[in-house]
Amino acid sequence: MKVLKFGGTSIGSVSAIRKVIQIIQKSRQEKIVLVFSAFGKTTDRLIEMAESAVSGQAEESYAILRKTQEYHLDLMQAFLPPGEDRNKLAAQVSGYFANLKQMLTGLAALRDFSPPVRDEFLAHGELLSTTILSTVFRWISLPAVWLDARKIVATDSRFNAAEPKIDRIGQQVEQLLLPELNREAIPVLAGFIGSNRKGRTTTLGRGGSDYTAALLGAILQAQEVQIWTDVDGIMTADPSLVADARSIPVLSFREAAELAYFGARVLHPKTLIPAMEQQIPVRVLNTHRPDGKGTLILPELPPNGQPVRSIAYKEGMTLITIVSSKMFKSYGFLKKITEVFERYQIAIDLIASSIVSVAIALHENVHIKQVIRELQSFGSVGVVEKQAVVCVVGEQIRQKSGIAEQIFAAVHDVPVSMISQGGSEISISFICDEKHLPRVVPELHRTFFSASKSDRMQSHLTYPESVIAGMQP
């Protein structure tokens, strides 16, 4: 049994959906579970319309809503000819858009887009795509059955970034999903969304459909989780920043998890957690080139002599520094500082301390003002926004000397701070101003993956075919 997840761009147009249908038909020899994101950039459009409404531009928000509705109806009509099925589906789709319109009116009146409302609102993207796709699949005789992901993916109440409750998900999978698989149906589920104990809709954070697929794969003990996207697997760097980035045939769980955590958008940062716990291989594949090999992520890899495997970056970071002479020779100081972040449930991405100062880098900035106010009781606090973390990843990074020197030689003309060798010791990261990223990331890529070194570097990218075959799950 396999879990297949398709991201927004994989289902963003009629031609993309045709490719997805072919992939599903090819995968049908075994049991499959399908997870989908919203169509194309629908989630971004939903955020735009809600923000317009909240800022008092009701007409603008209704205009975006109308366009989004047309987009969905066009996709639906491309696959379903006029008739009863199409009318029934059109009524369902209109129902979802009527809900959205009502919520927009509420947002415009209340001028408040609180986290629970945001989750309820954004969930419509995945509800729409999966409702439409499951009907289209049935029309072409695939035995698809739509399951309500909100009833299966039980979470806590941390709206916008909910944590799954594995035990409850396991029970729901047994009750609602397994019977469908057992009768040879193909379950179709919305990624990204779930619900809390009270039945209120939650989401797993932007890009969360990958996480849904991995959670289901782990609970179902799937043979493999496939993440179908718009690039040839995980690459040596973000291809939108580095034109000659290359795909990496195999990565270890730890490497892929580190890359995802440090910003490689191709996977939601938490995707590898359930897969690692249950040792379920994850394959990242390109919907537009389905015969490509993509990237296979496996529990362990034999060393292949190449320490650096990929470079990730994450923008929108805030760097906070606390300078205090009280720190000198005192203990418990760091704990008191981290407790402030804990109270506001803010995750710290990187931390470094010296004898009289602590530097902390974070991605979240909700409650940041309150945090800074509290930190000021410890010493003088500096805040720099629009920072980025750049992370060089590879299992053998610490076995090879000189990697740090190569990194800092490559970025010698850019001011960097908070240099850190991750606790897992498979990465080296640093902070710089995000405006330097278009120079820093390609330069690092040239250092470790340049064409002139291609022979030597190819060996890190490719294991011999025989080795890869032996690694297949």
Q: Does 130 participate in binding ligand ASP (rule CB under 6 A)?
A: no
What DSSP character marks residue 348? E
Per-residue binder mask for Mg ion (CB under 5 A), 150-189, x = binder = ----------------------------------------
* Interacting positions 6-65 with ligand ADP (CB under 6 A): 7-10, 37
Rg of the chain in Å (alpha carbons): 23
Residue 244's binding partner among Mg ion, ligand ASP, ligand ADP, none (Cβ under 5 to 8 angstroms by kind) is: none
Please tell me whether residue 442 binds ligand ASP under the rule CB under 6 A.
no
> Which residues does 252 contact at the CB level (< 8 Å), separation at least 6?
297, 298, 299, 300, 301, 395
Lookup result for tokens 């531009």:
57
Contacts of residue 104, defined as CB under 8 A and 6 or more positions apart, other chains included, come to: 49, 50, 53, 58, 61, 62, 65
* Residue that the structure tokens 């820093």 belong to: 440
Stretch that binds ligand ASP, among 37-45, 113-121, 254-262, 438-446 (CB under 6 A): 37-45
Pick from 17, 207, 43, 59: nearest CA to 125: 43
- Here the tokens at position 468 are 């890869």
Question: Is residue 240 at the binding interface for ligand ADP, with CB under 6 A as the rule?
Answer: yes
Among 229, 318, 321, 324, interactor with ligand ADP by CB under 6 A:
229
The span from the CA of 470 to the CA of 447, in Å, is 31
- 194 forms part of the interface with ligand ASP (CB under 6 A): no
The footprint of ligand ASP on this chain (CB under 6 A) covers a number of residues equal to 12
Under rule CB under 6 A, residue 231 binds ligand ADP: yes
Using CB under 6 A as the binding rule, whether residue 255 contacts ligand ADP is answered as no
Which region, judged by CB under 5 A, interacts with Mg ion, from 4-12, 307-315, 433-441, 456-464? 4-12
Q: Regarding beta strands 144-147 and 201-203, do their DSSP bridges make them parallel or antiparallel, or are they unpaired?
A: unpaired
Show contacts with ligand ASP in window 199-228 (CB under 6 A): 206-209
Choose the one of Mg ion, ligand ASP, ligand ADP, none that binds residue 230, judging by a C-beta under 5 to 8 angstroms depending on kind. Answer: ligand ADP
Tokens 């720099």 belong to 384
CA 392 to chain CA centroid, Å, is 19
Quote the CA–CA distance of 138 and 143 in Å, as a whole number: 6
Binding mask 197-236 for Mg ion (x = CB under 5 A): ----------x-----------------------------
Question: Where do contacts with ligand ASP occur on this chain (CB under 6 A)?
Answer: 7-8, 37-38, 43, 125, 191-192, 206-209
